[in-house]
Amino acid sequence: MDTTTEQQDRFAAAEERQIAMSILIETFAEAELDGLDEDSMTQAALFVAFQKLVSCYGEDAVATFAERLPERVRHGEFSILTRQ
């Protein structure tokens, strides 16, 4: 695969992830309007996400991925607001 095709594939994947994130954000907003607790939705979303990851990549790969989560969280990778 040439560099241009690789770049296009990465761009398409990033765009698809952005669309998926937008859909999830909308789903969370709708759930809140329906009276569902944000924490309940978040816990359920994480559970489903890990189920899907295990289904796609297997338990060992997902466990390795999960081992890196504390460091990524501490480095602000998932923070919306910038740190002060």
Each residue's pLDDT tens digit, 29-84:
999 999 999 999 999 999 999 999 999 999 999 999 999 999 999 999 999 875 54
Q: What is the pLDDT of residue 61?
A: 98
Q: Residue 16 contacts by C-beta under 8 Å, 6 or more apart in sequence? A: none
> For residue 29, what are its two tokens?
């907003």
Q: Are 83 and 76 in contact (CB under 8 A)?
A: yes
Measured CA distances, 34 to 3, 31, 53 (Å): 46, 5, 28
Task: Indicate if the pLDDT at residue 22 is higher than 80.
Answer: yes
